[in-house]
Amino acid sequence: MIYSFESTDASYKEFIDELHKRSLDYELIKRDKIVVRIFGHVNDELRSRLDSIVDSRKLVLKKSAERESPFIDGRKMFIAGPCSVESEEQLDAIARFLSSRGITYLRGGAFKPRTQSSSFQGLGKAGLRILSETARRYNMKVVTELMDRSQLNDVIEHADIIQVGSRNMFNYTLLTALGSVDRPILLKRGMAATIDEWVYAADYIRKGGNTDIILCERGIRTFEPRTRFTLDILAIPLARKMSGLPVIADASHAAGSRDLVPPLVRASLAAGADGVMVEVHQSPGEALSDGAQSMSFGDYAELLVELHESGWYQPTNLRASQTADPD
Ligand code: PEP
Ligand code: MN
């Protein structure tokens, strides 16, 4: 829950006193306005108490912005982009290609959870800025990962959908914090999480009042070493049914190699996935992360044409996606 106050108004102090009295966890941000973000669940009694302070002092209550659902007319959600944002030039080339094929959700990591600390860790805040500026140029929306609560204000400023990565699915402090933000959350399944644990993790976000959640099956760790992970196809219809939430599949991280991505995309859609996420790079061999599983422009364009012909992919800017030549 977020409240914002005019910076000239000192009466927010009474509001803060109330939060202190109740030992509530909150964050205070002083910019052009004073923003108070309350973490965790705000029950009806507390809400009306806080609202009464707000009303009596004529403070400004920040309302959630009206958002367009990513699932308009039951269309599948297609998210694509590089594993990591590497530079302005890289993201511009990728976004230009994707938008010419009708893709509207641009993914890209700015804060990267890498297995080895010596690997590229992402561009951080600079990467977020590149993401939102590029997305704006091509009329796309940004999907990016939040790794830690300390990054929340920056990520909210630049992301349309906040991704919680597989490694953080069990981070209940982070999930609770996301319960109070006004952005949809893309919650990836932990690589060793049961379906129950994954659905329960979504409840931590829901409990804080944010019900805009998309689950993402991204493969689990099994005894099979030939693939990076094992995409749990059955988890797609099961988690959908158990949670009542949309479920998409990340084919790239499960496959680990680009040639296995198209069959996983087809299988996920056939199993009822509400969308698919794929890593795409203009030069996969030179990618700073996950190059082996990133699809080239040509291969991804070909996959989209096939999915369009089979009725799975219905982009809004159809003309561009059909007539532009694959790069
Ligand atoms: C990612 O999508 O960039 C990522 C790191 O995925 P996961 O959390 O599923 O490993
Ligand atoms: Mn990746």
Q: What is the pLDDT of residues 200-237, one digit of tens each?
A: 999 999 998 899 999 999 999 999 999 999 999 999 99
Q: What is the structure's pLDDT at 65?
A: 45
- pLDDT for the residue 318: 55
- Say how many Å lie between the CA of residue 279 and the centre of ligand 2: 7
Q: What is the pLDDT of residue 244?
A: 94
- CB environment 287-310: b (16+ within 10 A), e (fewer): bbbbbebbbbbebbbebbeebbee
CB of 291 closer than 6 A to ligand 1? no
Q: Is residue 183's pLDDT more than 60?
A: yes
pLDDT tens profile 110-158 = 999 999 999 999 999 999 999 999 999 999 999 999 999 999 999 999 9
Amino acid in position 223: F
Cα–Cα distance measured from residue 232 to residue 241, given in angstroms and rounded to the nearest whole number: 15
% pLDDT > 90, the chain: 72
| Cβ within 8 Å of residue 303, ≥6 positions away | 261, 262, 265, 278, 295
As given in the structure block, the two tokens for residue 35 are 């923003």
Give residue-wise pLDDT tens across range 40-55. Answer: 777 788 888 888 887 6
How many other C-beta atoms can be found within 10 angstroms of the C-beta atom of residue 82? 26
- Contact present, 215 and 247 (Cβ < 8 Å): yes
Whole-angstrom distance, CA of residue 41 vs CA of residue 206: 9
Q: Which residue has the tokens 């929306």?
A: 141
> Measured from the CB, is residue 113 less than 6 Å from ligand 1?
yes
CB-ligand 1 contact for 37 (6 Å cutoff) = no
> Which residue has a Cα nearest atom 4 of ligand 1?
165
**Residue scoring higher pLDDT (292 or 8):** 292
Identify which ligand lies nearest to the alpha carbon of 188. Answer: 1
Residue 17 has pLDDT above 60, yes or no: yes
User: Quick one: pLDDT band at residue 89, thresholds 50, 70, 90?
Assistant: very high
* pLDDT at site 98: 98
Instruction: Give the count of alpha carbons within 13 A of 170, CB side only.
Output: 9
Among 163, 185, 278, 293, which residue has the most ligand 1 atoms within 8 Å of its CB, making it the best to mutate? 163
* Digit-coded pLDDT (tens) for 270-325: 999 999 999 999 999 999 999 999 999 999 999 999 999 999 999 876 554 444 45
CA–CA distance from 146 to each of 1, 150, 226, 281 (Å)? 18, 9, 29, 21
Distance, CA of 117 to CA of 303 (rounded, Å): 34
In the predicted model, is pLDDT for residue 174 greater than 80? yes
Are the C-beta atoms of residues 233 and 258 closer than 8 Å to each other?
Answer: no
Is residue 101 within 8 A of residue 64, CB to CB? The reply is: no
Q: What is the mean pLDDT of residues 182-190?
A: 96
Closest CA to 239 of 152, 326, 169: 169
Q: For tokens 């920056």, what's the residue?
A: 154
Q: Which pLDDT score is estimated for 64?
A: 45
pLDDT reported for residue 28: 82
Distance 99 CA to ligand 1 centre (A): 22
What is residue 303's predicted lDDT score, i.e. its pLDDT? 98
Cα 102 to ligand 1 centroid, rounded to whole Å: 23
**Token code pair at residue 64:** 């959630």
What is the average pLDDT score of the chain?
90
Q: What is the residue with the minimal CA distance to atom 10 of ligand 1?
A: 166
Could you say which ligand is closest to the alpha carbon of residue 186?
1
Q: Residue 317: its pLDDT value, please?
A: 60
Q: Which residues on adjacent β-strands are paired with residue 144?
A: 162
Residue 62 in this model has a pLDDT that exceeds 60: no
**Backbone dihedral region of 165: left (phi > 0), alpha (psi from -120 to 50 degrees) or beta?**
beta
Q: Which of 104, 47, 74, 81 is nearest to 246 (CA)?
A: 74
Three-state secondary structure call for residue 276: strand
**Segment (H or E) for 53:** helix 44-56
Query: Which residue reads 């988890």 in tokens?
Result: 235
- Backbone torsion region of residue 283, taken as left when φ is above 0, otherwise alpha when ψ lies between -120 and 50, otherwise beta: beta
- Does residue 238 have a pLDDT over 80? yes
Q: Are 294 and 300 in contact (CB under 8 A)?
A: no
Write phi, then psi, for 222 (nearest 5 degrees): -125, -170
pLDDT at 61 over 60: no
List CB-based neighbours of ion ligand 2 within 5 Å.
83, 290
CA 10 from chain centre, in angstroms, equals: 36
